[in-house]
Structure 1
Amino acid sequence: MDSLLELCARPYDSENWSEESEKAFEELFGSSGGRYSLRSQNDIQFRTPAAKIPFSAVIHKSNPTSGGYSGMSFVIFPVEDGPAMIAMVVGTQGLSPDENIIGKPGHSRKMNAIVRWLNEQYSGNEPISWAKKDAVRTDIGVPQNVINAHPEYKNIFDRYGKEIYGFCIAKNEIAEKALKAFLDFNFEERGYTPLSAAEDEFKEIKSNYFSYLMPTVTQQKVGNLLKQRKYVVLQGPPGTGKTRLANKLLEEDYESQGMTIQFHPNITYENFIGGLFPTSTGTELG
């Protein structure tokens, strides 16, 4: 793991990237210092092609040894002027043979929980991690505001923005947590957990991000979203505090300058949106 961490921290070196990344990935397997079993290595293929957008990827073993690949993949994208991007990616050739993994609702939920946890751990101003709500939606790209926040990785987003469904920038303070969380997630989804030497750490990481599966919605977070987007939808079962939170926001953030409206079946669009309405006249037209 140390070699992979070091590789993620360094700027891209085109002469040595392929050889060094392959060696670093090899060190992940086997009981002699590795994190995962040799059996798990037999189910994956390592790919580090000479491409315009360089990357190193762990993909399904059934893929061809060159060209486009399909299914779920763990990918490291290096850049020349910063740390690497760690990502979960759907191959450009589609979901198969991992559609049964990527298509599970829990897969996307766990990816989003990992991202929320990593962003909470990072002390910088901008979020360092992002995830798509639904991993299978390869018709949807990375949002423009996320791309703008990470200009060093624009070429990666331009090429693979629709295939990336979760990423984290491997900055120093967060790199180790991100790398282990993404790798553990990738292998556990394939049915493999880390070796016994790393089992306690694996369970701790998983417990940490599992606490973000159902994130707490605070008044501050909703207030910040309202400043950015001008609207927020609160959803949840009755009695969980949605109305109370809305009333507190109205009172404390907007000095009670607003109103509460109870929606019911007789509420229509015209109750809220003005427009042109006909009026009756005494002419032949009426």
Structure 2
Amino acid sequence: MSIENIRQFIKDKAEQFGAKIDKEYSKAYVERNNTGKDALKDNGAYFGFIHPDEEASGPFHDFSLTIFPNDDNKPWLVCLGVGSSGFKNDYELATYPGLRRLFSKLVDERGFCKSDFSDIETSLPKSISGSEDLQHIKNTIKTYTKVLPVCQIVDEPESEAGKKIIATFVAGYAKLREWPTNNGHRNAISDALKPFLKSEILDDAEEIKNLLDERKYIVLQGPPGTGKTRTAKEVAEKINAKTFFTQFHAETSFSDFIFGIRPDLNNAELRYKENLGNFTLAVKYAKEHDNEKVLLIIDEINRANLSNVLGPIFYLFEHKMDRSNVEIEISPDFKINKLPDNFSVIATMNTADRSLAVVDFALRRRFAWYSMKPKVITSEKFFKDDFAKIQEIFDWYASSSELSLQPGQGYFIADSEEEMKNRVKYEIFPLIKEYLQEGLIRNAKEEFSNYFATRINQSLFE
């Protein structure tokens, strides 16, 4: 197995991805090579790339692309490493969630990815340090065990499969170092990463329909613009259900949703008449038409005080109630001990609205939760470049919880370029500005500022 062949291979890939081994070039790298005969006897043999500000020998700082080889036709270890001197220029980069998201997709069950890339105190797990596949380089791994945020075992580096893994790590390092300067570089990186970044394309409506058969009560949660309400209505059409619709708000009460009384405004004297809420109407219809499917859609379920709105009917939301010996009064002369089998609920919840009530765990247990994420859609009216840029910023800088703030695909649909610019200016720009003012996704402020300055000639910071 030729170490020199793989050394040349990763240098060719680096150049293909936009880098040069040239200190005067802004997209440069420094190659390290410690693969002498003595080193290859499990004595610290490695080669790869380090930060362009570092020297070709001696201790070094920051992220590196590091490969631990051998000349015995045994597995190698390909890694994203950190120099033994720790961080100097890359600490902030190490804190970006997108870096971990990227590399976590490049490893399989024979690899490892740390949960915190800035952590250079925690050793590798035994699945790597004690792996039977790596006993021939166990001392070398032990030397660097705390400074390897990501690693992947590669059985045959010169095979097509082995080169694909190595090329992917070089591509990940290229993104980290921002090597690409043109579309050719960017396309080459995308091609290298594509087999490892496959995202399953789901038909949300079909998935939710199948889940509804199993769980009956579902909450669709996600950022604004991801089509939650539209999808709920689409599911209703798919199952050919009689549909009841209501939207919760801060003043929604039990008397609105279940049962109450209201003044009879058509009577000369003060009289009251009963008011059946949408829940009661839907349940009554389901009981009277047991051959039909009945679906209640509750839009923005977490905008109301759910304890006040649901009251005692909360008990009924058990999709597998084995004992139904407690009767709940829904309205006068209407008591039930379980919800009809042909009755289902789809609720929607906006995860980006920070002012909404927190949903308690009891409700979470009674409902299934389906997350709807921003996604590319096939439409001539969909401005995919704007969507891709916003998605790229969120993916790289947003924490796991902040991903729920990303504007959905609905924000990027327009009939013309002028309309899309207005959507960016009057919808997306104010939304992002509000996020930043609340202290959210602060790491991305310069990226957002650059995007808006370029796209609509408007600054986030006045």
User: Do they superpose with TM above 0.5?
Assistant: yes
- Looking at structure 2, the residues matched to 163 and 136 of structure 1 have their Cα atoms a distance apart, in angstroms, of 9
| Counterpart residue number, 2:165 | 178
Kindly state the Cα deviation for residue 239 of structure 1 after the two structures are TM-superposed. 4.5
Q: Equivalent residue for 2:177?
A: 190
Q: Which has the larger radius of gyration?
A: 2
TM (norm. structure 1) is 0.56
Q: Paired residue for 1:68, among 53, 56, 59?
A: 59
Identity fraction in percent: 18
Of residues 123, 133, 138, the one that matches 2:120 is 138
Distance in structure 2 (CA, Å) of the matches to 1:152 and 1:212: 36
- CA deviation string 1:161-218 (max 9, x = no partner): 11111111222463122111110110111112387556545324434434469xxxxx
What whole-Å deviation, never above 9, does each CA across 1:216-266 have from its counterpart, x for those lacking one? xxxxxxxxxxxxxxxxxxxxxx9489xxxxx99xxxxxxxxxxxxx989xx
Q: Which residue of 2 aligns with 1:272?
A: none
CA distance in 2, matches of 1:22, 1:79: 13
State yes or no: 1:47 paired with 2:29.
Answer: no
Native 8 Å contact 1:29 1:41 kept in 2: no
Which residue, 99, 107, 110 being the options, matches 1:107?
99
Q: Which residue number in structure 2 is paired with residue 168 of structure 1?
A: 152
Mapped partners of 1:174, 1:53: distance in 2: 25
CA distance in 2 between counterparts of 1:27 and 1:209 reads: 21
How many residue pairs match? The answer is 194
Aligned to 1:84: 76
CA distance in 2, matches of 1:191, 1:29: 11
Task: Return 5+ residue gaps in structure 2 as ranges.
Answer: 201-217, 222-318, 321-359, 363-462
| 1:56 shift after superposition | 0.7
Q: Distance in 2 between matches of 1:263 and 1:103?
A: 31
Work out the CA distance in 1 between the residues paired with 2:175 and 2:165: 15
Task: Determine if contact 2:48/2:66 at 8 Å carries over to the other structure.
Answer: yes
Using the size of structure 2 for normalisation, the TM-score is: 0.37
Any idea what SS the aligned residue of 1:164 has? coil
Give the drift of 1:48: 1.1
CA contact (8 A) 2:61 2:84 kept: yes
C-alpha separation in 1, matches of 2:181 and 2:153: 23
Report how far residue 36 of structure 1 moved. 3.2
Which whole-Å CA distance do the structure 2 matches of 1:158 and 1:72 have between them?
18
1:79 alignment partner, SS class? coil
Instruction: Give me the whole-angstrom Cα distance separating, in 1, the residues matched to 2:98 and 2:9.
Output: 30
1:206 partner amino acid: L
CA distance in 2, matches of 1:180, 1:22: 11
Aligned to 1:206: 193
Pair 1:36-2:21 in alignment: no
Kindly indicate whether the alpha-carbon contact (under 8 Å) linking 1:147 and 1:153 is maintained by their aligned counterparts in 2: no
Q: Secondary structure at the match of 1:174?
A: helix
- DSSP-derived class of the 2:142 partner: helix
Q: Distance in 1 between matches of 2:179 and 2:116?
A: 23
Whether the 8 Å contact between 1:112 and 1:131 is mirrored in structure 2 is: yes
One-letter code aligned to 1:166:
V
- 2: CA distance between counterparts of 1:140 and 1:70? 17
RMSD, aligned α-carbons: 3.5
Runs of 4+ in structure 1 off by over 4 angstroms are 19-26, 39-42, 194-201, 238-241
Amino acid of the structure 1 residue aligned with 2:95: G
Residues 104-163 of structure 1: CA deviation (Å, up to 9, x unaligned): 122122211221xxx2xxxxxxx3222111111111111113323333331232111111
Aligned counterparts of 1:208 and 1:56: Cα–Cα separation in 2: 25
Question: How far apart are the structure 2 equivalents of 1:194 and 1:154?
Answer: 39
Matches of 2:49 and 2:95 in 1, distance apart? 19
In the alignment, residue 141 of structure 1 is paired with which amino acid? S
Kept in 2, the 8 Å contact 1:37–1:195? The answer is: no
Distance 1:170 1:145 in 2: 14
